[in-house]
């Protein structure tokens, strides 16, 4: 029996194949990295907002926090779409949210609200908001809430949005020559009130599962809302934040008055936004 010797492999062809495999692997990994990049953008925006808050630049802080909110809105959705959900991603997202929606708004309120005048009390009031934001995020990692299509407590991005748009609104008034003269202590109490709403059991509308039909009314309303935000963003976003913050307690009071209850979730479900 005659043995046939195997032909030696072409080293160049083997290298080309390895390079092709590495390129394909990188292409497969790219979509899974995009959610983490958005979360990193959220974290970077929060850090930038803290720096600008210490300088008193409210406009830049507002833009940075709004950018962080946009990143936070899409990173979870993108992760689910590309199948990149993981425990690491959830924890990384919570850390970024703690910086952008916990530390940054507290620093902004402390400096812009002149809470340093209160001494140790001002520091404690600002810290109380930040601590409540951290507790809100930690609780959300464990349980997303009791009711369907509802957040349990005021979401931390919404609370941060209220702080930033309020500062932006008053900054606009000051630039127009309108003096408000709100005492620092009342600003601190408002900050603590937002913190307590975050850790409360008050259900807030989440918008999950809502399907918007593309009708003429929806298109017209969307265009009008977009124009109003572009025309007077500091005023429009401030009003939206106030309405949403008040909507939770008002809905709870109205349901208790009518004797109606929300639909509860069977078991625990993971949410998309903290």
pLDDT of residue 205: 87
Cα separation, 198 vs 210, whole angstroms:
23
- Mean pLDDT of all residues belonging to the chain: 82
pLDDT of residue 273: 45
- Angstrom distances, CA of residue 97 to CA of 196, 203, 252: 17, 20, 27
Going along the chain from its start, the domains and CATH numbers come out as 30-258 (1.20.120)
pTM value is 0.80
Give 235-245 pLDDT, tens digit per residue.
Answer: 888 999 999 99
Lowest-pLDDT range of 35-49, 138-152, 165-179, 246-260? 138-152
Sorted by sequence, the CB contacts under 8 Å of residue 255 that are 6+ apart come out as 261, 262
Most confident stretch, 75-79, 107-111, 139-143, 149-153: 107-111
Average pLDDT rounded to a whole number, residues 223-242: 82
Q: pLDDT band at residue 269, thresholds of 50, 70 and 90?
A: very low
Look up residue 56 and give its DSSP letter. Answer: T
pLDDT of residue 250: 94
pLDDT of residue 271: 43
Average pLDDT rounded to a whole number, residues 32-41: 87
Q: Which two tokens stand for residue 81?
A: 């779409």
Lowest-pLDDT range of 19-28, 73-82, 118-127? 19-28
Cα separation, 64 vs 73, whole angstroms:
14
pLDDT of residue 235: 86
Average pLDDT rounded to a whole number, residues 17-29: 60
Average pLDDT rounded to a whole number, residues 115-143: 91
Which of helix, strand or coil describes residue 272? coil
Lowest-pLDDT range of 172-176, 240-244, 254-258? 172-176
Which of helix, strand or coil describes residue 205? strand
pLDDT of residue 28: 56
Give 183-214 pLDDT, tens digit per residue.
Answer: 889 999 999 999 999 999 899 988 665 555 65
């Amino acid at each position: 029996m005659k043995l046939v010797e195997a032909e030696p492999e072409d080293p160049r062809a083997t290298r080309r194949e390895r390079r092709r495999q590495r390129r394909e692997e990188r292409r497969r990994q790219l979509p899974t990295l995009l959610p983490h990049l958005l979360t990193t953008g959220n974290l970077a925006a929060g850090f930038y907002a803290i720096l600008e808050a210490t300088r008193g630049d409210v406009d830049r802080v507002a833009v940075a926090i709004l950018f962080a909110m946009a990143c936070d809105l899409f990173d979870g959705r993108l992760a689910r779409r590309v199948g990149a959900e993981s425990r690491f991603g959830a924890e990384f997202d919570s850390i970024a949210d703690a910086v952008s929606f916990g530390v940054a708004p507290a620093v902004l309120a402390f400096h812009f609200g002149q809470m340093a005048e209160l001494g140790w009390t001002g520091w404690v009031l600002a810290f109380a908001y930040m601590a409540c934001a951290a507790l809100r995020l930690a609780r959300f990692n464990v349980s997303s809430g009791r009711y369907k299509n509802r957040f349990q407590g005021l979401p931390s991005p919404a609370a941060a949005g209220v702080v930033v748009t309020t500062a932006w609104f008053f900054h606009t008034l000051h630039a127009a020559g309108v003096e408000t003269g709100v005492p620092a202590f009342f600003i601190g109490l408002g900050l603590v009130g937002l913190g307590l709403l975050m850790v409360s059991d008050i259900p807030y509308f989440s918008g999950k599962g809502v399907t918007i039909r593309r009708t003429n009314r929806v298109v017209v309303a969307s265009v009008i809302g977009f124009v109003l935000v572009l025309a007077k963003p500091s005023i429009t976003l401030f009003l939206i934040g106030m309405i949403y913050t008040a909507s939770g307690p008002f809905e709870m009071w109205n349901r208790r008055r009518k004797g109606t209850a929300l639909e509860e979730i069977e078991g625990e479900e993971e949410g998309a936004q903290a």
